[in-house]
Structures are given as C-alpha cells and as structure tokens.
Structure 1
C-alpha cells in the first residue's frame, strides 16, 4: 500500500514538473520579438484623376416596331446579327391591308368617273356650283383614303433605320402584335459610350474632350476614350451627375451592357499615402488593416485603413494613417495585435 502511494506521488510530481517546463518554454517563446521589415509613411505627389464605373451603351440605339397591327409572317435575323440601314427586319401578313387598298382604289375610280360626268353638266350650266363642289370633295376624300391604305400596306414591312447589331428580338413568327410595340432593338456599336456617374464634388474636374482610360474586365483590355457629354442636372437621390465617354470600337468587340472602369486624368496634383499591396491584409469582416509600429514599446498594433486607387503597383491609403508613422511591410503575416517585434533592414 505504501509502495503504491509512493509511485503515485512520484508520477504526479513528474507531470507537474513537465507542465511547468513547457509553460516556461512557451512563455520564453512568446517573449521573443519577431523580425519584421517596416517603412515610414511619407506623402507622394501624384497626378489627380477621377475614377468612375459605368455601363457600355451603343452610340445610337433605336427601338423598332410596326405602325400597324397584325400577324408576323417573317423575321430576317437573330439577336447578335449585323443589320444594315434600310434592311428588311420583319413583315406582317398583308392580306387585310391589300384588300383595303383595293377597296380604296375602287372608290377612287368611282369618284373620278362621277366627277368627270358631272363636270360636263357643270360646264353646261346644268349643275349648281355647290353640288359640283360636293363631288370634288368626295373625290379628294377617296384619294386621301387611297393614300392612307397604301401607307398601311407599306407599313406591314419593317426596315431598320440605322446600321448596327440586333440587340433584342422580342417577337416570333406567327405572333400577333399591336401598333407601336417595340419588337426589335438595334444599336450602332461602331462607336460606344460609357455611361457613368460623377459625385458633385468631383464634377469641376471633368470637361468635354478630356482623355479617359477605359478598362473592361470582361475583355481584359484597356481602351482610350474622350468625354463627350457632361450632365447639367444631378440625380435627385445620389446627387451625382451623368457623364458619357466615347470610345472607338474596332472589330465591334465592345458590346452594350458590359461594365467599364474609367480613369480620367485631371490637371490637379494631390498628396497621397501609398503602401505596397502585400502590407495590407483583410480580416474576417473583409475590413482592410495594416500593422503600425509603436517604437516606444517595440510592438506592432493592428490599424484599420480605407483604400483608394492602385498607383504604380501600390495602393492609396485614404484614411487611417498619418505622415511619419512606421508600417510593417514584411513579416506581417506572423503578427497579432500587440506582437513584440524587432525591425530588420
């Protein structure tokens, strides 16, 4: 019994000693400073620019529909096809309109014969002036009705008013359509426009013919354009102004609906804080932060920052840092808030 108690006490002492040894090692490791690289923050002068995003729209976009109602019997193209100005896009069954036109022709013939017959009587003095005038009005009315029916018959054929691309086809053969319904959308995309909004505080930086660099991520390409229009009235909700940037579109690779990022260079310069992209991290809340060095304590503390544009492979820090602060630019992945550090060159 005594021997068992002795062994139990010995094992407990050994376990306690081992734990104390591990705690001492952990405490010693935690107190070891981590080697990092740091960079002092200094403002950099860059050329001012206004960055906006917007949607691509065609240079000219038209919605086409029939001036008369009826049943569609022909459609020439599918969405995405090229369309020429004056090309027949669709037509309606003309049967009813052809019949109405022939009826109008008959009425004109009848009225003309009646007019010619009564004209002779009028010249002989056998017909009063008022009665002869009524016959003349009847003939004019018949001719006008003939013109109207001819126009209705012609309007059963729908032609494109511009050259471009068929963006939308909103009808099918056999479908009955009403007067004026927009059935086809054609857009001229030999040139395209970026429609974007500029905050009122930056509107004074924008002017007509200003050069803009347009980046379209879906194409992986950058294009050069010019500001062609600056809105004169702000949106009531966003207080932003509409601008339009024109872009040449060789090869018609840019299509309406694509998203574009535009950077418009201005004449003004500004002082900004720039940091290497790798020094900026994201937390679980998707907030950007950096580690700022406290020289007195030789520690690094986490600081949230607001980001701006990318400039020469560095990121603009809009807020969160001040001039001459020391920011960790290397070894920051191993740090936690308040880590003890040593700065290496």
Structure 2
C-alpha cells in the first residue's frame, strides 16, 4: 500500500484549463476574454440529422422516455478517451431522469461513438435524441487525444450528450433573437470550418419553430451555445466558451425528463483525502471538489462532486487560479468566499460553509491580488 502522492494529485487537479484560450489573466479581474475565446474556437459541433427525415424534425419528436436506460458503446478509441466520455456524460444523469449504460463494442446500443478518423468522420457531432437509434455511428469526437485538457473534454462531451438527449444548439432557440452580423459570420466559418453559406444558415441562423420545440428562456450560459465573438453581432453582444452546465440547463433537462434522478451525489459519504491515512486499491477519497479512486497505478479522477456536503455553497468549486481564464457564469472560491463572474465583474455570493448563495450587489471586485 502506498500513501497518496499529494503533489501528483495537485498537479492532476490543476490540469483543468481552457483549451482554446488565447491569453491568460495576470490578475483576478473583470476581464472575461470572451472575444478571444470565441475567436480561437476552431472546433465547433455540427448538427447531424436522420437523413430519412426532414430537417424540421423537432426535439419533441426525438426525446427518450423519462426513466429510460440509454445504452452506449464505443466503436473505437483508447481506454483513456473512453474513460473521459464515461466520466463527463453522466453529468446529465444528476438532473434528468435517464441513465446511460456503457456496454461492450459487440453489444446492441442506442448511441454509438467514434473517435479520431473512424469511418472518415470529421469534427464533433451527435445525432439528436432517438435519431441515434437509426445510425450505426451516431456520435463522433475527431480531435480528442491524450493531451486534451479535462475542461475541453467536459465542454465537448457534455455538449454532445446534450444533443443525444434531444437538445438543440442554444443560439437556435426559438426566442434567442441574436442580431447576427451575417457577412462577417459567413466569412469566419468559411475560413475556419470550410462551410458554405447554406451550412452557416443551417448551423447558426436558422431558429427552430416554437410550436414544435421544447425550449426555455434563452440562456447565453448554456453548455449548448456556440461561442460568439462581438464582431459576429451587430450590437457587439458576445458569448464565451461555456464549459459546464448552466443553472437553466439543469432545470430545463429536469423538466424534459421528469421524475427521480440517480439520487445522492457521487461524493456523498466519501471522506476527504487525509495525508496521514494509508489507502488501498479501490479506496475512494474526495479532494478539492473531485472524487478519486485508488488503482494499482495511482489515483483516477472520477469527476467533480455533484452535491454540496454539509450545505456548503463552496463544495466542489475550485480556488481562484490567476493562470486560468474565466467566462461569465464561472464560479471560484477566494479567501473563504464564493464568487461568480458576471458581465460586470466578480460578484461575492457569500461565505464558504453557508447553505445558500445570495448575490451581494456591492461586492464586485475589479481586481483581487494574490
């Protein structure tokens, strides 16, 4: 038996950084770098449709049954890449009454996942909802490799499994009302993606019909939203590179798939790592808001805790890191308080150790020095 190498665990935890950031903040400031993030995102998700159906197929038509177990298999890919999909796809289970079951490659499945150049597929994509049943290859991740940061794994995997649950791109929400600078957008996506004007129309400008689509109020923080630099809109409105489920994502998917979810958080009942303890293979610990399990080769990160032990609003929220770049909606802890980034700066939501967050309107800090 070996003691946990704390230095390695700290290093593993610190690897969660944005893959597409052009710059890093030197101070904890109100700068969100949304434009830089959006400009540098060359790998965007494309929409896939059942070719036997009209492109007017709606979310309502492709929803799974609440409580259904959706079977998922891998068509190729290393055990490491497959483990990342398993790690992040299940975030939807915490809020929706569905269950993903990962089965062997020779088993029947609803969702079938390819990586890299499998089947000569390109990009990141997934068929919508139950359309996956009719495809031999229904989801794809071209760009993942062993050097992909965890935050990028999370951003893309959670996004694609949102599609697999029937969610559309949020910028195509029937009530989105984005004022697109169309000629600039056409040029950008032709240059970065090789898209025709018709493809841009379909993937960005086309909005779904309200009468046939389940939708909520437009949510610019949604994991299902494309990043949008300010020059892509006529009014200068931008959207950052959303990397995690928003509050509206969680409430909306719970409404679409109502009923009991998987129950308590994955970290419930698991003790925090203690450097004075000795651990055996199979033991689990929590550390800086993540769940780890001891293996023969070290510690595996099983993902972020999804509950708030003891009602602590800071549980599972990472400490502010001046080397990271943050987007609107991101939360951090700093000097014993929980902060959330808004368009106007960082709002103090309250002291760690409390059970509820309340925005303090006068607690917007343009600079917090370490």
> Shared fold by TM > 0.5?
no
Normalising by structure 2, what TM-score?
0.18
Normalising by structure 1, what TM-score?
0.19
Q: Which has the higher strand share?
A: 1
* Larger RCO (CA under 8 A, 6+ residues apart): 1
Task: Select the structure of larger CA radius of gyration.
Answer: 1
